[in-house]
Chains A and B, each alone.
Chain A
Amino acid sequence: AQSVAQPEDQVNVAEGNPLTVKCTYSVSGNPYLFWYVQYPNRGLQFLLKYITGDNLVKGSYGFEAEFNKSQTSFHLKKPSALVSDSALYFCAVRDSGAAGNKLTFGGGTRVLVKP
């Protein structure tokens, strides 16, 4: 069975500082990895994905993530955080052998960017 772990419930960072949200995964086949962001009482917005190719993936709103196969990690990063980045972030994985877009989510990490 596939699983995703986000070890930090909350990350606090000052505006302008680098932001990192950690994610590790476990799948039986090749992983399809995703990051989503959720604002209060909203659905999830897609940020970026890794399917294959370059390990460094660039996504929306200045976010990027690095796929590390040996460490089974897919950490989300942003060089300079904004107050508006404060939200709930989810890492998700889809096993390449799975049909459709059925995702397994991590527990979520709340990001708080302070002015």
Chain B
Amino acid sequence: GAVVSQHPSRVICKSGTSVKIECRSLDFQATTMFWYRQFPKQSLMLMATSNEGSKATYEQGVEKDKFLINHASLTLSTLTVTSAHPEDSSFYICSAGQPNTEAFFGQGTRLTVV
């Protein structure tokens, strides 16, 4: 199946700093990628839809200035958590897939803000 790679898998940062998470589709082009957030023992919450060459579409309640998304190429989307605070600590997962197929997920990024 298609491969989606997410990096880093784990990051610890100080409160107030920014963290960038990368999501790459390794063997296919993805005009659309998705970013999810998962709280402990809970389901995935869609944060935003990353659109290649245009602005991301954010779900209701997600701060676009807080979670900056850039989809500059057909194989790379980045999520930047700006001015991170402890409440931003979470597991972030990206997904991508070709049209009318299943979505493939990255390995996830465990963000801890101290």
Contact = CB atoms under 8 A, between A and B. Distances in A.
A107 B42 contact: yes
Contact of B43 (A34, A51, A102, A106): A106
Contacts of A34: 102-103
B108 A90 contact: no
B44 A101 contact: no
A42 B110 CA distance: 9
Given A43-B107, A46-B1, A49-B102, A101 B43 contact: no
Contacts of B31: 100
B46 interface: yes
B67 interface: no
A74 interface: no
Interface in A19-64: 34, 36, 41-46, 49, 51
Interface stretch (B70-78, B80-88, B90-98): B90-98
A42 to B, nearest CB: 6
Given A36-B105, A41-B110, A43-B107, A102 B49 contact: yes
Interface of B: 1, 4, 6, 9, 31-32, 34, 41-44, 46, 49, 91, 93, 95-97, 99-108, 110
Interface of A: 34, 36, 41-46, 49, 51, 90, 99-108, 110
